[in-house]
A and B are shown apart, each in its own frame.
Chain A
């Protein structure tokens, strides 16, 4: 039974609604947010569909910890190693933030692959989502480049030699390989320019690209909606089933709304 709201309560609600309405009237942002958060998704989306958001979360963790690390890291060949040591050993919680960024990098890449595997195995890359797959591939490449350039920054022996090998590997690409390697090195040999260049790419260039592409990726996810799983009666190309189909054999018996039949 709906109770009448007290006058006090009504006033309070008006007070809260006012700034929200103000913003909505001038920007439409609230409506947009509602559209984004309350949009419809297929009834049988599952945990597999959360892998994309998990990847996004890992990316946000990388961004935040990375920004904080940048406050103490010094991209100078004479100081880089020492500044990393300082972050790890001397700064309060420096070890934690650095650890989050270092391990989080692997988590991000692994999650990207899991997400990609789910999209692939669900056939979710098919019409009309091909473009989102292509954007995803670019994201994958940029993500791995982010890992490659970040690995050099501690400027210790592992970092140095791993990068030597990585750059030379690029150098063996046919035709333009030698030029690519020299561009990455910033000269004929790996040297001081290499560190500054990798720093700039790791901090500015590649994250910029990632932000832009993730924006596009999510725009397309929202515009097209997520696809339902392949076993779904709502899957693309399937006849619409109003009642449970009779006598269908198989391991999985789809129910009317995509849940499993009991």
Chain B
């Protein structure tokens, strides 16, 4: 494209093949994020090299101009020379200043202009900030959840699974319905031990289902302290599975197949006056062993799809306050 000279018309950079390599690099990075880290590194290298070549290519003309072409009279006018419209032909909104006195007043105009803009910005800020804060902050404050009473220890026979569904916040209604898979593991060092697995899929949050028969007809409704209602359904799962994208978990919640990135979340629990209370949920990367002997690699609660260990967890360095 030979257009550098007289500079009429659109000013376009010369065609270049480097962007193709640049794009290949980007694709390499993206594919690498899925398959392997070395591919990411290779992609990054390709991207940087071709990006550099591209930028160099695209700017040669400018750089050459800086070196040789600066004529004495400054840069040539960029536009096609358009005759200015004589004042008496166009419609001027204001007469142009024509004597010295008027030009002298300019600093005051400038001040007024600045003051108007400054005041306007201040007023705009004063109005916008609280509104923005109101839109954003309530989602991050006061997110405490109460413990939920899910029945007496007698409601959970040793060695059996129960599907427990309950309202986490009765005031909020059905949207706060949660489901946990609860198994009484029997006493551990003299104290009761439970496995309480959340049914929220750690891929993208669908409800995980038990792999095994559930006895709907033996569903029992127990009432907790403070009027909570908990439905308990006996079930005999041999694993867990997610209907949305086929995520599969073993009986301790370890991921065995599909897109989930870690093991199923679990509930903290406590026992008071012979009753079982479920508290906060926390995230788990992996469980070794089974039942009461399980060793749980525990992390702060993270959203579905977020890695809690390994390199990928670096992508989520800060979590919203709990």
Contact = CB atoms under 8 A, between A and B. Distances in A.
Contacts of A193: 138-139
Interface string B288-322: 00000000000000111110000000011111101
B305 A172 contact: yes
A182 B173 contact: no
Contact of A178 (B10, B175, B206, B319): B319
Interface in B123-147: 136, 138-140, 143, 145
Contacts of A175: 315-318
Contact of B204 (A127, A165, A174): A165
B-side interface size class: 20 to 34
Given A164-B206, A171-B306, A187-B143, A179 B320 contact: yes
B316 A127 contact: no
A185 B175 CA distance: 12
- Max chain A Cβ within 10 angstroms of own Cβ: one of B12, B139, B318, B320: B139
Given A161-B244, A178-B320, A188 B143 contact: yes
A23 interface: no
Nearest to B303: A171
Given A169-B204, A193-B139, A77 B316 contact: no
- Max chain B Cβ within 10 angstroms of own Cβ: one of A78, A187, A188, A191: A188
A195 to B, nearest CB: 8
Contacts of B205: 164-165, 167-168
A172 B33 CA distance: 13
B172 interface: yes
B175 A77 contact: yes
Given A168-B205, A190-B175, A185 B139 contact: yes
Contact of A168 (B207, B304, B319, B322): B304
A182 B204 contact: no
A147 interface: no
Nearest to A194: B175
A171 B173 contact: no
A10 B18 CA distance: 69
Nearest to B171: A192
A-side interface size class: 20 to 34
Contacts of A124: none
Nearest to B141: A187
B60 interface: no
Contact of A192 (B12, B173, B322): B173
Interface string A154-168: 000000010011011
Contact of A182 (B10, B139, B145, B304): B139
B244 A165 contact: yes
A183 interface: yes
Contacts of B303: 168, 171-172, 177-178, 181
Contacts of B317: 175
A232 to B, nearest CB: 17
A127 B12 contact: yes
Contacts of A127: 10, 12
Interface in B205-232: 205-207
B175 A177 contact: no
A182 B306 contact: no
A186 interface: yes
A188 B320 CA distance: 9
Contacts of B305: 168-169, 171-172
A76 to B, nearest CB: 11
Contacts of A181: 303
Contacts of A78: 173
A189 interface: yes
Interface string B158-187: 000000000010001111100000000000
A186 B140 CA distance: 8
Contact of B139 (A128, A187, A236): A187
B231 to A, nearest CB: 18
A192 B319 contact: no
Contacts of B316: 174-175, 177-178
Contacts of B315: 174-175, 177
Contacts of B206: 161, 164-165
- Max chain B Cβ within 10 angstroms of own Cβ: one of A171, A187, A189, A192: A189
A25 to B, nearest CB: 15
In order of increasing CB-CB distance, the 7 nearest A-B pairs are: A172-B305, A174-B315, A171-B303, A168-B204, A188-B143, A168-B205, A165-B204
Interface of B: 10, 12, 136, 138-140, 143, 145, 168, 172-176, 204-207, 244, 302-306, 315-320, 322
13 contacts: A127-B12, A128-B10, A165-B205, A167-B205, A171-B306, A177-B316, A178-B306, A178-B319, A181-B303, A187-B143, A191-B172, A192-B173, A192-B175
Interface of A: 77-78, 127-128, 161, 164-165, 167-169, 171-172, 174-175, 177-179, 181-183, 185-194, 236-237
Given A182-B139, A183-B139, 7 more contacts: A164-B204, A169-B204, A171-B303, A177-B315, A178-B306, A178-B318, A178-B320
